[in-house]
Amino acid sequence: GQNIDQPTEMTATEGAIVQINCTYQTSGFNGLFWYQQHAGEAPTFLSYNVLDGLEEKGRFSSFLSRSKGYSYLLLKELQMKDSASYLCALRGGTASKLTFGTGTRLQVTL
């Protein structure tokens, strides 16, 4: 089986940096995804990690440590439009399927 933990809510200030953590337990590993989901909308793909280390995409970066069962999403230069839920999703032993965490709701304030 698989288990994924994320903080439920976070608050950060516009222009700041925020780190959203995700820890997981799994018997097989084929990658970890991060998705963004604005209220009432569909999840949209942000990043993918399968090897240890940092992947950078503009203001967003994602880090993975397979030995620690740990990932984080780093958002820089926060904007109001970054207020959304961020979903960590694990691709385990069956490569085609994803298991999602319950998501972290981020609120960006002035």
Partner 1 sequence: DAGITQSPRYKITETGRQVTLMCHQTWSHSYMFWYRQDLGHGLRLIYYSAAADITDKGEVPDGYVVSRSKTENFPLTLESATRSQTSVYFCASSETGYSNQPQHFGDGTRLSIL
Interface contacts to partner 1, rule CB under 8 A = 30-31, 33, 41-45, 48, 50, 87, 89, 91, 95-103
Shortest CB 48 distance to partner 1, Å: 6
Q: For residues 34 and 72, which CB has a smaller minimum distance to partner 1 in the complex?
A: 34
User: Which two structure tokens, joined as six digits, stand for 26?
Assistant: 């799994």
Secondary structure (3-state) at 81: helix
Query: Distance between CA 106 and CA 110 in Å, rounded?
Result: 13
Q: For residues 63 and 78, which CB has a smaller minimum distance to partner 1 in the complex?
A: 63
Q: For residues 16 and 45, which CB has a smaller minimum distance to partner 1 in the complex?
A: 45
Do the beta carbons of residue 64 and residue 72 sit within 8 Å? no
Secondary structure (3-state) at 98: coil
